[in-house]
Amino acid sequence: MIAFEKVFQVCFVYYMCLIVSTHAEKYRICVVDGKEDYKNSARYCPKLDEQDSPVECVVALDRLDCLRRIHKGKADFGVFTAEDLVAASNSDMELLITNELRFSPDQAFEYEIVAVISKSSGIKSKHDLKSKRYCHPGYGYEADWTKILSNYFEALVVTPQCDPQLTIVENRVKASSNFFGAACKAGPWTNDAVLDFQLKRKYSNLCSLCYDPRKCSQQDKYWGRRGSLLCLTDGAGDVSWARLEDVRQHFGITPGGQEGNPEEYSLLCPDDSVMPLNTSSPCIWVVKPWSVVASRMSKTSGVQSLIGSLDHSILDKNVSSWKFNLLNLIEPIYLTAEMINPIISIETYFRRAKGFLSANSFSACHPPRTIRICTTSNIETSKCSWLRESAAVYGIEPDLDCLKADNKSHCMMALSDRAADIVVVPPDLVSTATRNYPLKTLFYETVLEPSKYIVVALTRKETKLKSLEDLRGIKACFPSYDGIAWHSVAYTLQRNHLIGCTIDRDMATFFGPSCVPNSPGNLSENLRKECQPDFQGENGALHCLASGIGDVAFVSSNSVKKFAEDLVNDFDYPDIRNQVENFQVNCLEKNQPCHLSWSPPGQAMIRASSSDVWIKDTLNVFLNLDGLFGKHFRDPTNAFTIFGRYDGTSNVLFHDATEKLRDVPMVKNTDIMDLSFESVLKREKVCYPASSSNRIVSVEEWFIVILGVCYWYNHL
């Protein structure tokens, strides 16, 4: 009996160890949720968490987030595009390729790109392309065809332009315009609509072959993958840049609807030879590798075996099995996971991909143009570095660089000293940046209304205010001196003739003892009399009000919710926490909005002396980054999230709530909200002498007075 018990104990311990070991050996797949039908983690990951599954999910924000997690040992494998692998290689990440995700086992690459020429054009080599008519697939679907690959042909055959007086985009456009006699390059040449229109008017020969040259848009007959071939076979062009699979379908070599006679066209090869379209070994200029499964070095064999155990036949069977769910996470749009044997490095993988690395490392003008972003923390610098890598992989120019400073003030100083070029600042620093450094706004982080900084007058419910005049003599709480609330209140009081031109002095005498953090020591003590150490910023102003020290707080309306959330677990201030429900917004002007001003949460500022060329280059870079990595990214999953959490931290470099970057503060031109902070700062005011009751008059009023004086003078 004792022997049986010992055997049972040994078996039980072995069984428990086996369970623990099995659990410890679970492979962690890094999953990225996409948009719409590609939100897969909630659909498939729960089944992977069950006991019989050898896999569990690690959900990441984007594909480069997955790369970082695998590199840090927080995940074991994931699915990545060729562009992701370039970024990983540039960042010295050691991952190995275990499987290729293909649409067909017989296709070695996702696509191969060729140059097709009309025999009647007389083109025999690259040297004959000068002044010929070029059919380009166009722009606007970069998720499927990156600008690096779509521009590769021109990068090889066109002599580059490096005029420092022109933007990088215009240099490229001008070089192509000078080289080709005519072309159809439909779709947006740049994300800046105004600049795009200007360039298309200036270099109209690059739109002249289009079916509708005036629009030269994505709706053109000759736009897109088959569009460039239609341009060729309709007789509009002499040479077309196209995918090999599309060429074969277009000319009836493979099924797909024949549109041209293959006997009348040839392939132009990079080595200056020419070959028939129906050759079995076509000459390729550049290829796009398939997406892959990449793994940590220590997990590669196990990951490959795991994926090798999956079979597409299970897709129609047991939908609750872990294999079914894992397969759907790995291959949502692909049909087969081809095993790479032997397992290879990223560098080896790219050696097989003709032209791909050279396309991604094509030399730019010298000296290269660089935009230096100023950051203020290690995590901001880290995100900036990945933004730089992502931009380079997708062919965005000028290059980005990252410079770390201690705080925003030091960043603004760095811009002023030309050590950095751009910094994103909150509304509270806009006035300081404009006046002291001097800087100006390049673009805004535009947001929907709930995320705007909306300055309001907030009081406790028992405080009765009926007009602006009722503010006189009461105790005010401000987030900071010289910030958006300070200037918005001052402008409102000026506009209503309640204070004069000397804002600091007049504000100090208008309000009673108040708290204006960081106000200069040479100003009235009245502005700092009620300040306490924790009365800094938005939460500080709200704390000032909730504690009963202040009568009114001028803060952003959306800061109240955050203030309440921050107090949920703060047991040091139980009375303060109870006061939040006692707050109310006061509307102090009849027939006017309740808010005093509004602003996006951040705006990018540059030197006011920046050249027009540099401004266009820089704005174009960030608009491109927004289009690729913003809220409206084109891939099924995002490569890099420019507006969102980074390594678990919110509002890094840019605000999470940002909808898109624009050179105006509204998300859409149709958005209407009065009293933007930009207009408050720009509105020029002229004051009467102090003896005239400090009344403020506008420039328009002065103009009318001057006209009146001139009229009477001329009639004396």
pLDDT single digits (tens) 284-336: 999 999 999 999 999 999 999 999 888 766 555 667 788 889 998 988 777 78
Q: Give the integer Cα–Cα distance in Å for 392 and 638.
A: 16
- Statement: residue 31 has pLDDT above 50: yes
State the Cα angle at 275 between 271 and 278, rounded to 5°. 140
At residue 534, does pLDDT exceed 80? yes
Is residue 427 a contact partner of residue 398, using CB atoms and an 8 Å limit? no
pLDDT in tens, 309-320: 887 665 556 677
Q: Is the dihedral of CA 62, 67, 70, 72 positive or negative?
A: negative
Q: Answer yes or no: are the C-beta atoms of 286 and 142 closer than 8 Å.
A: no
Does the pLDDT of residue 645 top 80, yes or no?
yes
Is 696's pLDDT higher than 70? no
- Tens of pLDDT along 267-289? 999 999 999 999 999 999 999 99
Residue-level pLDDT at 574: 63
- Gap between the Cα atoms of 343 and 119, Å rounded: 44
pLDDT value at residue 105 = 86
What are the pLDDT digits (tens) for 567-598?
Answer: 766 556 666 767 788 899 999 888 888 999 99
Checking if the pLDDT of 694 tops 50, the result is no
178 vs 309 pLDDT, higher one: 178
How many other CB atoms are found less than 10 A from the CB of residue 54? 16
Contacts of 110 (CB under 8 A, 6+ apart): 82, 102, 103, 287, 288, 289, 290, 291
Interstrand relation of 133-135 and 239-243 (parallel, antiparallel or unpaired): parallel
* Dihedral, CA of residue 576, residue 578, residue 581 and residue 587, to nearest 10: -30
Separation CA 242–CA 40 (nearest Å): 33
Structure tokens at 570: 């703060």
Segment among 401-410, 486-495, 627-636 with least mean pLDDT: 627-636
Return all residues near 531 (Cβ < 8 A) that are at least 6 apart: 515, 516, 517, 544
How far CA 269 is from CA of 241, 276, 282, 368, in Å, comes to 12, 11, 9, 30
| Rounded Cα–Cα distance for residues 514 and 471 (Å) | 12
Report d(CA 203, CA 197) in Å as an integer.
10
Q: Which residues contact residue 561 at a Cβ distance below 8 angstroms, ignoring those fewer than 6 apart?
A: none
Of 68 and 565, the structure prediction assigns the larger pLDDT to 68
Would you state the structure tokens that stand for residue 447, as one six-digit string? 């947001």
**Backbone dihedral angles phi then psi of residue 223, each to the nearest 5 degrees:** -90, 145
Mention every residue, 6+ apart, whose C-beta is less than 8 A from residue 424: 445, 602, 603, 604, 605, 653, 654
Is the pLDDT at 688 greater than 70? The verdict is no
∠ CA(307), CA(309), CA(315), 5° rounding? Answer: 90
Mean pLDDT of 425-448: 97
Tens-place pLDDT, residues 113-128:
999 999 999 999 999 9
Task: Give residue 418's region: left, alpha or beta (phi > 0; psi -120 to 50).
Answer: left
In this predicted structure, the answer to whether residue 39 has a pLDDT above a threshold of 50 is: yes
Residue 705: predicted pLDDT: 44
* Whether pLDDT at 438 is above 90: yes
Give the per-residue pLDDT at 690.
38
Distance from C-alpha of 576 to C-alpha of 407, rounded to nearest angstrom: 30
What tens digit of pLDDT does each residue of 72-85 get?
A: 999 999 999 999 99
Specify the amino acid at residue 705. Answer: V
- For residues 329-347, give the mean pLDDT: 88
Cα separation of 472 and 511, whole Å?
5
CA distances from 249 to 254, 265, 283 (A): 5, 14, 17
pLDDT value of position 24: 53
Taking a C-beta distance cutoff of 8 angstroms, is the pair 222, 236 a contact? yes
Element (H, E) at 18: helix 2-24
3-class SS at 436?
helix
pLDDT for position 182: 98
Whole-angstrom distance, CA of residue 290 vs CA of residue 337: 10
pLDDT for the residue 689: 41
CA–CA distances in Å: residue 238 to residues 182, 187, 211, 692:
10, 20, 15, 77
Greater pLDDT, 700 or 568: 568
Q: How confident is the model at residue 143 (pLDDT cuts 50, 70, 90)?
A: low
Neighbours of 10 (CB within 10 A): 10
Is residue 388 a contact partner of residue 355, using CB atoms and an 8 Å limit?
A: no
The pLDDT assigned to 7 comes to 44
pLDDT grade for 146, boundaries at 50, 70 and 90: confident
CA distance 385 to 466: 52
User: Rounded to an integer, what distance in angstroms lies between the CA atom of residue 138 and that of residue 224?
Assistant: 6
- Measured in whole angstroms, how far is the alpha carbon of residue 175 from the centre of its chain? 29
Amino acid found at 214: R
Show the tokens assigned to 324. Answer: 């079914």
Per-residue pLDDT for 235 more than 70?
Answer: yes
Residue percentage of the chain with pLDDT more than 90: 71
Query: What's the maximum distance between 2 C-alpha atoms anywhere in the chain?
Result: 131
In this structure, are residues 110 and 289 in contact, taking their beta carbons and an 8 Å threshold?
yes
Query: Please, what is the average pLDDT of the chain?
Result: 89
More confident residue, 260 or 600: 600
What is the identity of the amino acid at 269? C
Which DSSP state fits 237?
Answer: -
Mean pLDDT of 669-676: 90
At 614 the pLDDT is 96
One-letter-per-residue 3-state SS of 667-703: CCCCCCCCCEHHHHHHCCEEECCHHHCCCEEEHHHHH
Tell me what pLDDT residue 12 has: 46
Q: Looking at the predicted structure, is the pLDDT value of residue 692 above 70?
A: no
What distance in Å separates the CA atoms of residue 691 and residue 669, rounded to the nearest whole number? 44
pLDDT at 321: 85
pLDDT of residue 218: 95
Helices (H) and strands (E) in the chain, counts: 25, 26
Bond preceding residue 342 cis, omega within 30 of 0: yes
Q: Are 60 and 66 in contact (CB under 8 A)?
A: yes
User: What secondary structure letter does DSSP report for 372?
Assistant: E
pLDDT at 536 over 90: yes
